[in-house]
Amino acid sequence: MAPVKAIYNVAVRAASTAVAALVLEGFMTLPVGIVRMDHPLLWVQMIVAAESNMLVNLIAIAAIMTAVQGWMGNGKFLQSVWQSSAVCLVNSILGLVALLALRTSSWAVVCLGVLALLVGGGYRGYRRSLQQHRSLTELYDFTQAAAQAREAGNLADVLLVRARKLLSAEYATLWLPGSRRHPEVMLTARIEDKGLSDRPVTPNLLRSKAIAGDQTVVVGPRVGDPALRAQLAEHGKKDAIVVPLRSGTAVIGTLEVVNRVGEMSSFESHQVRLLETLAAHVAVAVENSRLVDRLRFDAYHDSLTGLPNRRRMTAMLEEAVKVSAPDVVAVLLFDVDGMRDVNESMGHQAGDKLLAEVSQRLRDLAPPAALVARVGGDKFAVTLRAESAAEAVELAGKLRAALQEPMRLGTLNLDVDTAVGLALHPEHGSEPEVLLRRADLAVHAAKQTNSHIQQFHLALESGSTRRIGLAGDLRRALDAGELEVYFQPKVALSDRRLVGVECLSRWEHPVHGSVSPQDFIAVAEHTGQLGRLTEVVLREGLRRCREWADEGRPLSVAVNLSPRTLVDPDFPSQVGELLAEYGVPAERLTLEITEDGMVAGPDRPMPTLHRLHDLGVRLSVDDFGTGYSSLSYLRRLPVHEVKVDRMFVQGMATDPGDLAIVRAVVDLSRHFGLSVVAEGVESELTLALLEEMGCDIGQGFFFSRALPYERLETWFAAQTVTEEVGVGGSVRRLRAVP
């Protein structure tokens, strides 16, 4: 025993003995005849002296415990006094009975010995039964407390504090090794009860031995490996129990108790079993807690990037808009362009790496107070407070510019572009879903702008709502044949000869009036009606082509195709059937596909293009020059014609840059053996420049805008004349153009 404790115990014993002696001294004033062994007053004298001795010891123990741990409470102290008094009374009575029996006869020692054995055996059985009952009660309370703690979020606190108290240990430690999502956890409950600590108590060798052997390690003054006892002593501890925590066949950590309270006490075998039972409950509780944490994390985070998902973003937005402040809450929505091309050409794994790189850049570059989330397949949102809309737009530009830096995927450097839509609180709404929806609308509008950044305005929402309402009307219009096909003339620039028309769909809505092709084609694409719309235009164009041929004026017809049509494997067969149905030679039909649709992933539409080429249909690249392709693509594509976008043609008369672009397209296209069509011819000067370059065909308002069939017939009669060519031949040419 430590010297300080030995001195303290001797002093307490001396004080309690002195108090008992004083009590006996007080009884010495009684008459001499009363102080006899068989007199009841003497019995009372001895019992009071014993109770006094007990009370002094109890007060001393309570005082030292209060100095170390704090006051136990009046109720608990009084309960201890009552229990100790009852035990002391029973022991005193038993002692008096033994003394009286021995005073009667010395042979009473035999009876007392047998009685002592019986009482001792019964007491041990009662103690064991009471111990088991207490263990079961404590285990039940432990599991109930663990269940409540899991809901309250203080599971480790409750587990460790209760485990320490159940085993009367100075320390209880929970150790869980680290993982990718869960870092290492080491929490220790100390007898000072001042909260959990992360300082290690058990030597690592004990923990390692328990995990390696998947068994309980017990070390005490006379128990366990001498090397382990020596290492425990180096840490200033006398005994310990280390129990591995198991989840199935895997060891997920350890539960440890160190230093049984009391220098003369040590952990017993039943306490080892109790800790093993507790460890089983702790393992289940820890795994359940981890599972709940994992489910909660997965419910609010994206599995690929680890960013908050749309649900988490919505919740954070809801909190942000509740705070009244002079600044604004900005929602910046980034839409990554070209993800489908990456997935199809390089595989989905490469696409996932690209998204992870985008998320990492946004996380690194966004302001510290901003929340970055992945809210869709290739859409990321950044939410933050800004002083003004201008500051939010400036930040969107900086983030977009940073995302445009080349991204390394394997051996390739990819240039990634994004469109950014902005919505602001309170200007554009107070509901999180409204802000996200309006930012999404702004993203779609941003793709049509040069800056690729668009702030929301109400016109965007009205247009989107209008498109949704048009979906059902478009289906009914197709069923009723309400869509009309207009025709725009195409003229050979060398001799002003009318060579064909371009077929353009038009829709006059009974309520909304004239609906732009951009709107109803987008509706057709998103509602699965694109095939029917394309068939309507094809049928009308081929029917008129047949009629014109029967009238002796053969003209070609051109029909625009959506990029989605090029991936339809049945489309070439449908074209062949329609050509056969109307008896139109395949070379009279030209199918125009936008540049982006043909070169943004040329492998997908290539089979369809080759099948159409094999039919004899002419293929044309529409709006050439507006995409990001190279003319070298034209060497791979089975096309016959290039249409220069009207944006360059209209500006070539005044802008040297546009003139140079048109000239380059014409020269290179002719080098590849392709004919060139110029859209947007609106002046005599433009016409003269195109003719001088050697452009083949012109199309634009200078000749005629798109006209319905009846007005086109009138235009034919008014603007063209028939000239004799050779013997018995004729050709229709335009009159002199003003």
DSSP per-residue letters across 79-109: HHHHHHHHHHHHHHHHHHHHHHHHHH-TTHH
Dig out the tokens for 99 from the structure. 């003394």
Q: At what angle do helices 269-300 and 310-322 cross, to 10 degrees?
A: 80
Question: Would the pLDDT of 34 be above 60?
Answer: no
> What's the Rg (C-alpha) of the chain?
47
Angle at 156 between CA 154 and CA 158, to 5 degrees: 70
Q: Are strands 453-455 and 407-409 parallel, antiparallel or unpaired?
A: unpaired
Q: Note the pLDDT of residue 737.
A: 46
Q: Note the pLDDT of residue 575.
A: 93
Q: Which of the residue ranges 466-475, 519-528, 655-664, 716-725 would you say has the lowest mean pLDDT? A: 716-725
Tell me the mean pLDDT in the region 491-499. 87
DSSP per-residue letters across 627-686: SS--GGGGGTS---EEEE-HHHHHHTTT-HHHHHHHHHHHHHHHHTT-EEEEE---SHHH
Q: Which of these, 492, 495, 335, lies nearest to 417 by C-alpha position?
A: 335
SS3 of 375-394: CCCCEEEEEEEECCHHHHHH
Of all helices (H) and strands (E), which one includes residue 487? strand 484-492
Question: Would the pLDDT of 199 be above 60?
Answer: yes
Query: What are φ and ψ of residue 701, in 5° steps?
Result: -65, -20
Q: Note the pLDDT of residue 33.
A: 47
Question: Would the pLDDT of 113 be above 60?
Answer: yes
d(CA 604, CA 310): 32
Q: Which of these, 485, 497, 425, lies nearest to 730 by C-alpha position?
A: 497
Q: Note the pLDDT of residue 464.
A: 59
How many Cβ atoms sit within 10 Å of the Cβ of residue 339? 18
Q: At what angle do helices 571-582 and 530-550 cross, to 10 degrees?
A: 30
Specify whether the CB–CB gap between 271 and 252 falls below 8 A.
no
Q: Note the pLDDT of residue 585.
A: 93
Q: Note the pLDDT of residue 348.
A: 82
CA distance to 14, 307, 357, per residue, from 349 (Å): 81, 18, 12
DSSP 301: B
DSSP 203: -
Question: Would the pLDDT of 180 be above 60?
Answer: no
Greatest distance between any 2 Cα atoms in the chain: 170
Q: Note the pLDDT of residue 152.
A: 57
Q: Which of these, 331, 392, 411, 396, lies nearest to 362 by C-alpha position?
A: 396
Specify whether the CB–CB gap between 90 and 45 falls below 8 A.
no
Question: Would the pLDDT of 532 be above 80?
Answer: yes
d(CA 7, CA 18): 16
Question: Would the pLDDT of 736 be above 50?
Answer: no
The percent of residues above 70 in pLDDT, for the chain, comes to: 88
For each of the domains in the chain, give its residue range(s) and CATH number, in order of start: 3-104 (no CATH), 150-299 (3.30.450.40), 310-456 (3.30.70.270), 483-734 (3.20.20.450)
Q: Note the pLDDT of residue 193.
A: 61
Beta-bridge partner residues of 559: 503, 591
Q: Which of these, 593, 527, 601, lies nearest to 565 by C-alpha position?
A: 593
Tell me the mean pLDDT in the region 468-497. 86
Q: Which residue has the higher pLDDT, 370 or 298?
A: 370
d(CA 253, CA 715): 88
Top-confidence range, 23-32, 73-82, 148-157, 540-549: 540-549
Using 50, 70 and 90 to split pLDDT, how confident is the model at 150? Answer: low
Dig out the tokens for 241 from the structure. 């129990």
- Burial class of residue 515 (count of CB atoms within 10 Å of its CB; 0-12, 13-18, 19+): buried
Q: Which of these, 569, 574, 668, 559, lies nearest to 610 by C-alpha position?
A: 569
Angle at 576 between CA 483 and CA 477, to 5 degrees: 15
How many Cβ atoms sit within 10 Å of the Cβ of residue 29? 7
d(CA 453, CA 449): 7
d(CA 438, CA 463): 12
DSSP 444: H
Specify whether the CB–CB gap between 506 and 477 falls below 8 A.
no
CA distance to 423, 438, 456, per residue, from 459 (Å): 14, 11, 8
Tell me the mean pLDDT in the region 218-240. 84
d(CA 168, CA 165): 5
The percent of residues above 90 in pLDDT, for the chain, comes to: 18
Question: Would the pLDDT of 121 be above 50?
Answer: yes
Q: Note the pLDDT of residue 108.
A: 84
Question: Would the pLDDT of 469 be above 80?
Answer: no
d(CA 560, CA 493): 22
Specify whether the CB–CB gap between 622 and 592 falls below 8 A.
yes
Q: Which of these, 579, 559, 576, lies nearest to 611 by C-alpha position?
A: 576
Q: Note the pLDDT of residue 408.
A: 79
Q: Note the pLDDT of residue 677.
A: 93
Answer positive or negative: Cα dihedral of 457, 459, 462, 467.
Answer: negative
Question: Would the pLDDT of 524 be above 90?
Answer: no
Q: Which of the residue ranges 1-5, 272-276, 388-392, 701-705 would you say has the lowest mean pLDDT? A: 1-5
Q: Which of these, 300, 295, 287, 251, lies nearest to 150 by C-alpha position?
A: 287
Tell me the mean pLDDT in the region 102-115. 84
Q: Which of these, 617, 628, 555, lies nearest to 591 by C-alpha position?
A: 617
DSSP 737: P
DSSP 604: T
Q: Which of these, 632, 627, 591, 634, lies nearest to 611 by C-alpha position?
A: 591
Q: Which residue has the higher pLDDT, 147 or 232?
A: 232
SS3 354: helix
Question: Would the pLDDT of 332 be above 90?
Answer: yes
Angle at 60 between CA 59 and CA 64, to 5 degrees: 115
Specify whether the CB–CB gap between 481 and 705 falls below 8 A.
no
Q: What is the pLDDT of residues 679-689, one digit of tens each?
A: 999 988 999 99
Specify whether the CB–CB gap between 292 and 150 falls below 8 A.
yes
Beta-bridge partner residues of 175: 186, 254
Tell me the mean pLDDT in the region 180-200. 67
SS3 692: helix
Q: Note the pLDDT of residue 472.
A: 79
Dig out the tokens for 348 from the structure. 């989905």
For 74, residues 6+ apart whose C-beta sits below 8 A from its C-beta are none
Q: Which of the residue ranges 246-250, 497-501, 733-737 would you say has the lowest mean pLDDT? A: 733-737
CA distance to 443, 570, 594, 668, per residue, from 671 (Å): 40, 33, 21, 5
Question: Would the pLDDT of 601 be above 70?
Answer: no
- Burial class of residue 4 (count of CB atoms within 10 Å of its CB; 0-12, 13-18, 19+): exposed
Q: Which residue has the higher pLDDT, 373 or 64?
A: 373
Q: Are strands 250-260 and 328-336 parallel, antiparallel or unpaired?
A: unpaired
Tell me the mean pLDDT in the region 172-183. 71
Using 50, 70 and 90 to split pLDDT, how confident is the model at 550? Answer: very high
Average pLDDT of the residues of the chain: 82
Answer positive or negative: Cα dihedral of 82, 86, 88, 89.
Answer: positive
